[in-house]
Structures are given as structure tokens and as C-alpha cells.
Chains A and B, each alone.
Chain A
Amino acid sequence: MRAPELRLRAPTPGLLGLPWDRPLSEWVVPDVPLRDIAVGMSRHLVKFVDADGHLWAVKDMPPRIAIKEYDVLRRLEEMGLPAVHPAGLVLQPEFETAILVTRYLEGSWQYRRLFMRLPPDQPRHRARLLDAMAGLLVELHRHGVFWGDCSLANTLFSRDGQLLQAWLVDAETSEVHPRLSRGQRRHDLEILVENVAEGLVDLAERLGLPEEMHQTLIGEAEQVQVRYETLWDLLHAEPVFGFADRYRVEGTIRRLNDLGFAVDELSLQPDESDPSRMRVKVAVGDRRYHAQHLQELTGLDVGEGQAAILLGDLHAYQAQLAREAGHDVDETTAARLWVIEILTPYEQLAHEVVGYRGTAIQAYCDLLEVRWLLSEKAGRDVGTNKALAALAGDVIPTDSAAKMSVAEVPTAPFAVLEMDD
């Protein structure tokens, strides 16, 4: 018997001790600490192992594909892209197969979990989902990554303020290039549209929605192209201004910052066709503009969507402090006080009223959203306590982002599904 070849990036005792000399199909409880996770059907055999306090996804695949996927995932990790982290690759020459090990993304969930738990037909939640998909594809393409099989089933989602963050979980068909051509991007986008349409239609069938819904869902999937192109164009725009109008650069930067993108470098060059005018080129950095700023002020490490909301709350608090003091209060002082006086107590309260599901910081973001929605409806500020009560009783608008917390309760363990009937 030929021994397996192991490459583990987290050589912990639990992982090392797994039965790598046996085919994955033979891994069973109680010999192996497996956990059932609802991830839907996969083209390959996938199991989840609980070892050393972490959850690991182990996927059986042909060695050539496994090696390729492992390498691509490592490249994505180096580039800081939202994708599952590769933890190891085990070649099993005895069985002519390989096992790819990735670290399970804590707090993430599959799109089905959200929509199976919400009342049927939720276009606003679908819009958030599709925004996340388009955003992920733009991020990958900006870094020269051709996904090749972007689908809802190959993506995990996690909550990020009022947004969703999409994570690539399957890189079997992916390729990393120095730069993608327009044709490659378009092709990837076509695959995305077809696969997302399939995912939404499949879900509608499972939910027993009428067939007339299918064309609506297909239409929504097609809109991902528009979402993608709008974002891509904004990130790659090269506006031309007259020299006297250079203050308009600020608007370009603000639009990027509002979307969470930091600006690495700005260059103003005379336009080739009209040298009296300036062409603005912006080198766009990571999508952590607000997150970075909040971290500098408070030390908090949160998602970009969460940071945008929290900074808004901090600035409102700063204005309130200034009113009370009768003079300006600097942002750093306000931030220190905001963490102690506002964030710490209320995030605990919010987390408690939602039954500790998700993270405390996300519960606080939900509280802020609910307070804003209720206040808007009432035409006045309803206050935090009323919002807490609404959150506790789950009497919040169905299409609010806060409602997506239903996805954060893990699915109870269930028997392994058969691959076919």
C-alpha cells in the first residue's frame, strides 16, 4: 500500500490524526468527528470534520484538479480576496484520488438557508444577494481571477451591516491571470447569470412558487450584469476635467469611498486628445475604507458594511456631544466615549435580545437599522429602547436587512442526504 502524501498548513494534532490512509467515503462517525452541514449538493464528495476547535471541509477529487484548486486558493489568499482558506492537500495514490482541505468559514451560510426561512418572494433580499455576487466577481476580476463557475451554490454568504459579503468556496475551474481581457470578464459574467438564474429557479421550485415567477427570477439574475458593470465602470472610470475644475476629483474619490474603496493613488495627467484638460486615474485599493478608519479610531476590526454604519452612528454621537458641550469635539475623543457609552452596552443588549445569534456587532448594526426604519415610519426618533423591543419581538420590516439574521442560526444536524433518488 502506498502511503498518502500530506501537505497541511495547519498541522494540528486533530487534523494530523485523521484517517488519511482511507478513502473519504469510508470516514464515518464515531471514528471521525464528522459534522453534518447543510451545503446542498456537490459534484464531489464533501464532508465536514470538527478538529482542534475548528471546522474543516474535506473534498474528494481527482488529484490534478485538487492540486490546481489548492494552488488557486493559495493565490486568492495571498491577494486577500474573499475566498475559503486552503488548509491542506492530501494525495492518496493508493486510491488515485486526493482530498482538498479548507477551513470552514464560521458564521457563513448558503443562500438556500436564508430564503427557505423567509416568507416567499423577497426581492430586496435577493437584490442584496445579487449585489454581493456582483461585488465578489468585480473583486476577483480586478485581481485577474477568472472564476469559471460562479454560482450561488459555489458561494457562501455572511452578514456585513446591511450588506452581504459573498465568499468564493469552489475554485475548481478558476484561473489566475496577470489581467483579464474584456472577453474573459464577459464570459465569466455570462456563466454567473446562467448559474444564478438556475439557483434562483431551483429555489423557487423547492419553495413551490408558481412557474410564472421563473421569468422574473431569470430577469433579476440578468440584472447582475448591470450591477457588475456599474461597479466596474465606477472603479475604472477615467474622468476628464478642465484644470480649473480639478476640485471635481473630490467627487470621484467620495463616490469610491462611499462604496468602501480606499484610493491608493490618484494621478492627473494632461489628456492626450486635449492637453488643456486633465485625465484622472485612480488606483483603487481594498474595499476597507470605513473599516480601516474605524479600526484606527477604536481598534475594532469589523466588516466594511458594518464599519460604514458604525461610523455613521459615531458621527451622530459626535454631533450630539458637540451640541451638549457647546463646542467641537474631535473625532478621536468622540470615538473613545462612543465605544464606552454607546457601543459596548447596547451591542450587548442587542445581542441578548436576538438570542445571541450572529455577532454582537452585527446585532448592534441591526438595532440601528430597526431604529431608523421605525423612526422613519413614525416621523420622529422612536429611541433605542423601542427598537430593542421590536428586535426582541421580531416585529421588524420583512425586507429589512436585520431580518436576514434568520440565516445565522445553524441548521440542526440531519442525516446525510442521498446524492440521487
Chain B
Amino acid sequence: MAAITYKNASCIYEGSDKLAVDNLNLDIQDGEFVVLVGPSGSGKSTALRMLAGLEDIDEGSIEIGGKDMTGVPSKDRDIAMVFQNYALYPNKTVAENMGFALKLRGVSAEERRKKVEEAAKVLDLTEHLDRKPAKLSGGQRQRVAMGRAIVREPQVFCMDEPLSNLDAKLRVQTRTQIAALQRRLGTTTVYVTHDQVEAMTMGDRVAVLRFGKLQQFASPNELYDRPANAFVAGFIGSPAMNLFTASVTSDGVKLGDSTFELERDDLAKISQAGLSEVTVGVRPEQLEVAESGGVEVVVDLVEDLGAEAYVYAHAGSGSDGVELVARCNPRTAPRLADTVRLRRHPEGAVHLFHPTSGERLN
């Protein structure tokens, strides 16, 4: 086990002057489960591959256990990689699949068996050790692939979208197992996904990347409650946070014919920044359908999920129109084309961002 440090680490795309990873700084604690998340092209996989030794570190450095890994071949980094495309030997049993890398390293048959049995126990594969991969479910096969990594007892696990080949139900189930397994093993893990729900449910901390740059590195709660910028605010959370840029008035921002009221402290911060427009963020659960106050909207869709419902509506029209989503009780939800009012919960948080840079203001 080991801590990992990215120090101003950059990677340049071949044949391009653009940085795939731009000046990345991360301090990952020993035993921590860190998820790198971001949309396609964000540099998350490149950042992981730099750690694994598959991409060059063009500038800066990456340390594992305090040792600079620049120029160190991946096989000498004491890491194990688990990819989405795991290739098991179809003709070998689960035990043989898990133990072959050890045989290659000259580990004795007895020692191999011991390590394989230990790993199988942790992975809940003991009763499948004599079976061949074709007889296993997708999730079990994924666990065998992890078993091949575990038996080597690496310092670090690098996982690049290991669940993306599984169907949705299995993905949910397997992600819980991987997270629990990592906690039991205590091995420092860096995990890449494009799925923010996967990131939020698995990671001790999550690094959000965009265009090769780190946007925020924080715990899932911190990312959700205090996103550092408008991109993180919109990327984390499902349904996404309501984000709209509007003109500032004396007591809030203008939304259609109504005013979306803001706290006095927030108005002061907008004023301090000298802004006449501001980007406002409100999570759907922080809005409620009300008789009075708030903003007048027309309902476009109601998504009834049983325990809760989401109201998709719009305020204003044309270029001034803003789409909003609010969570409500499905039993009292408005109907399609109703005109209702949406207002902020008394305790609800409002996030303010700079309209051009997207940086958090409050």
C-alpha cells in the first residue's frame, strides 16, 4: 500500500499542442479510494495511464510511496490494472486464471494455491474455483479479473472503467462489491469512470476533470454541497442542478416576469464582484411547488418515480426562457401544462457562480 502524489503532472497529446492532462495536482492517501471522473476527453483515463506508466509524464511528476515514477516501467511500479476489457483464459479454471501470473513469477504451487484461495474468499469465488469462465456470470468474470490483480498483492490498483461492459443492474451490484472489497483490502485505488453516480457512490474522494484540468478534488458530499464551479455543479447530481444566468435585481435575479429571490449575503457578494449578471444554481430537491412567491412556471413534464416525482417546467419564453426541474411529492404533483410557482425551500442552498469564469462566488 502506498500514497500517490501527482505533482504538476502534464501529458501532451501526440501531434497536438493541447495538453491531455494539464498540471494535475492530487494527494492521494495510503489506502484511499479515489475516483477520477469527467466527460469524454476530460483526461481522466490519461491521468490514470500516466500513473500506470502507459502514458509519458511530459512535465511534473507522479510519486508512489514517495518515489518518483518518471521513467519507471509499469511492471516495476507495483501496481495492478483492471480494465473494462478483461481477457480471461477460456480454457483455464478460475483458480488457474488467478494463479497463472504467479506461476510466471516462479511462485511455488503451494504458495500459489494459498494466495488464490485467499483472494477467492475475499471475492466470494471459492465455490467457483474449479469452473471455467464460460460458466460464470458477467459479474463473476469481472471478479476473477480482479482476482488476477489481487493475488499479486500490489501497492496500488488502477481501474479504468472496469464495469462499463456490464449491464446496468449488474453494474450497480458489482460497484458495491468493488467498493466493499477495496475497503477490506485497504489497497490504494484509483478508479476511472465517466459515470458520476458511480464516482459518488464509490470514492472516498472524487477528482472531477474537464479538458485535462482538475476542477475539484473533494469528498462526494463536498462536491455535491459546495461545487467549486458551474461545471462541477452541473456534472455532479442526477437530475442535474438547475443552472441559469440571469440579470441581477435589487432582491434577486430576474426569471421571466418573476424574481428569484436571493439572500442578502449573496447579493452583497454579487455586488462586491461588480456583476450585473450571475449564474445561479439550485438543486431540484431545493425547489418546491408553492401557491405563492417564487417564480411562475409552466409544467412541461412530470416524471413520477413512485417515491418522488420530478417536475420539468419552464419560466419565461424565447431567449429569456429558463428550464427548471423540481422534486416534489408524486401524490401532489402538478399536471402537464399547469401554471404553478416554484420557490426555494426555506433551508435550501443557492449556489452562485461567475457568469463567464464559472467560479463559485458564495
Contact = CB atoms under 8 A, between A and B. Distances in A.
Given A149-B85, A173-B85, A215-B106, A183 B91 contact: no
B102 to A, nearest CB: 11
A43 B134 CA distance: 7
B73 A183 contact: yes
Contacts of B14: 177-179
Contact of A42 (B74, B90, B101, B103): B90
If over half of B's interface residues share one DSSP class (helix, strand or loop), that class is named, otherwise mixed; here it is loop
A187 interface: yes
Interface in B1-56: 14-15, 49, 52-56
Contacts of A148: 83, 85, 87
Interface in B75-101: 75, 83, 85, 87-92, 100-101
Contacts of A172: 85, 87
Interface in A164-184: 172-173, 177-179, 181-184
Contacts of A182: 56
B56 A41 contact: no
Given A181-B56, A183-B53, A41 B91 contact: yes
Nearest to A45: B134
Nearest to B135: A420
A336 interface: no
Q: How large is the interface on A (under 10, 10 to 19, 20 to 34, 35 or more residues)?
A: 20 to 34
Interface residues of B, number: 30
Interface stretch (A190-198, A236-244, A288-296, A408-416): A190-198
A190 B91 contact: no
Contacts of B56: 181-183
Interface string B168-212: 000000000000000000000000000000000000000000000
Contact of A202 (B15, B85, B91, B134): B91
A181 B54 contact: yes
Given A65-B165, A183-B56, 10 more contacts: A43-B87, A43-B90, A65-B85, A173-B83, A179-B14, A183-B49, A194-B100, A198-B92, A419-B132, A420-B135
Interface of A: 40-43, 62, 64-65, 148-149, 151, 172-173, 177-179, 181-184, 186-187, 190, 193-195, 197-198, 201-202, 214-215, 218, 419-420
19 contacts: A43-B87, A62-B165, A149-B87, A179-B14, A181-B55, A181-B56, A183-B52, A183-B56, A183-B73, A186-B73, A187-B52, A187-B53, A194-B101, A197-B100, A202-B89, A202-B91, A419-B135, A420-B132, A420-B135
